[in-house]
């Protein structure tokens, strides 16, 4: 059977997955700058009997189409390949050779497992039902991201479903997590410039104090979550920057604030949007200042199709592969992920692969300079996605 052959091939190529992951880890590239990584991926497919489309979307995206020899559905398998502007602090022999850039979110591992899985599927394509579209996606970390532009290219409009995985160090290798419905938060970036009238600290009545107005905005905006949202809905508003430094006896004429908003549904997104704009107008009226608000939604909430997710859970729970030790429901996660753009248009399931390094009580979480993975998780990911492919 094709499935048995595929699993055997993956086992035999585990070391290759690890070698690829380590190479990518040594040479990370930031979002929209992944030229050499994209070339490495394209070179991997050179000479193979597949269709390779490069520079898909708004960057270095690649779609590899594997046409099976038997009738079946068309599915997409996605892995991202960009890195982060983080200086690596791990003590591994394959640590980043690019100063200030690091694979601190597992995208190197995502790419490594999918490259080998795709190659195995190419070798077995005569027995493969349907068509596989392998989506090597650039720029997941920086909005507008790569996913949105790949979706807008129309090259995936024939897919029946799209699948993706993410490595998480909360669980050991062998654990596979899932969540049906809304699973990861959407995100909006905002910047507010408050223009007042500067003055002397001894004469506040002659000025319009931008710092006081900004402080009021910081306090007022927190009431959106505490007093406007249903207590059973998820919403977070963070002020990450308040640029108001000046002279101690000078009333500042302008300040800039930056922050982000997180939400789990489009309804909450719309409510918070409305309230932030309302409060901004109120600040203008109350303090006599002028406000310039830049309010830009980044990624939508990630919605896992319940029917597709149930199918994935069923096939993984029935798996006899020893590497897949446990399949469990994960809670909703307030982080954002641009896989949400695939899920917004196509039936999709984005699930999680435990990757907690062996011998540690509590692993460093994603985006930490000491992030690392248990490389056994690469074979777990490859086999879990292979199970999904083989279910048809």
In order, the DSSP letters of 312-359 are HHHHHHT---TT--EEEEPPPB-S--TTHHHHHHS-EEEEEEEEEPTT
From the CB of residue 226, how many other CB atoms can be counted at a distance below 10 Å?
10
Please check whether residue 188 is in contact with residue 270, taking contact to mean a CB–CB distance below 8 angstroms.
Answer: no
From the CB of residue 142, how many other CB atoms can be counted at a distance below 10 Å?
18
Q: Is 82 a catalytic residue?
A: yes
Please check whether residue 169 is in contact with residue 377, taking contact to mean a CB–CB distance below 8 angstroms.
Answer: no
Phi/psi at 131 (nearest 5 deg)? -130, 140
Query: Of these residues, 29, 34, 80, 82, which one is catalytic?
Result: 82
Q: How far is CA 366 from CA 140, 235, 356, in A?
A: 14, 21, 11
DSSP label of 186: E
Query: Of these residues, 140, 298, 323, 338, which one is catalytic?
Result: 140
Give the torsion sign (CA, 124, 128, 133, 136). Answer: negative
Q: Is 51 a catalytic residue?
A: no
Question: Please, which residues have CB within 8 angstroms of residue 151's CB and are 6 or more apart in sequence?
Answer: 341, 342, 344, 345
Residues catalogued as catalytic: 82, 140
């Amino acid at each position: 059977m094709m499935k048995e052959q595929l699993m055997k091939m993956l086992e035999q190529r585990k070391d290759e997955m690890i070698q690829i992951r380590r190479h990518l880890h040594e040479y990370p590239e930031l979002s929209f700058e992944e030229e050499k990584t994209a070339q490495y991926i394209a070179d991997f497919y050179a000479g193979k009997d597949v269709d390779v489309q490069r520079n898909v979307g708004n960057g270095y995206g690649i779609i590899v189409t594997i046409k099976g020899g038997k009738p079946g559905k068309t599915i997409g398998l996605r892995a991202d390949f960009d890195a982060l502007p983080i200086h690596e602090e791990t003590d591994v022999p394959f640590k980043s050779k690019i100063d200030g850039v690091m694979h601190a979110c597992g995208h190197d591992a995502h790419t490594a497992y999918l490259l080998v899985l795709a190659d195995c599927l190419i070798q077995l394509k005569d027995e493969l039902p349907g068509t596989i579209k392998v989506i090597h996606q650039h720029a997941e970390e920086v909005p507008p991201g790569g996913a949105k532009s790949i979706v807008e290219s129309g090259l995936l409009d024939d897919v029946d479903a799209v699948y993706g995985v993410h490595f998480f160090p909360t669980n050991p290798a062998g654990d596979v997590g899932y969540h049906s419905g809304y699973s990861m938060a959407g995100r909006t970036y905002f910047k507010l410039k408050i223009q007042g009238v500067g003055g002397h600290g001894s004469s506040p009545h002659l000025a319009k104090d931008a710092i006081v107005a900004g402080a009021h905005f910081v306090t007022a905006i927190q009431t959106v979550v505490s007093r406007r949202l249903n207590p059973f809905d998820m919403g977070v508003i963070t002020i990450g920057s308040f640029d108001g430094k000046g002279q101690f006896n000078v009333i500042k004429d302008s300040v800039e604030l930056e922050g982000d908003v997180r939400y789990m549904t489009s309804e909450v997104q719309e409510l918070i949007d409305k309230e932030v704009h309302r409060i901004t107008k109120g600040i203008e009226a109350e303090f006599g200042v002028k406000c310039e608000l830049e309010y830009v939604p980044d990624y939508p909430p990630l919605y896992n199709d319940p029917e597709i997710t149930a199918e994935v859970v069923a096939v993984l729970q029935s798996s006899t592969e020893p590497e897949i030790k446990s399949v469990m429901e994960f809670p909703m996660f307030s982080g954002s992920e641009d896989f949400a753009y695939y899920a917004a248009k196509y039936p999709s399931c984005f699930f999680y692969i435990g990757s907690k390094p062996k011998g540690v009580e509590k692993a460093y979480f994603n985006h930490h300079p000491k992030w690392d993975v248990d490389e056994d998780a690469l074979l777990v990911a490859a086999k879990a996605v292979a199970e999904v492919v083989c279910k048809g």
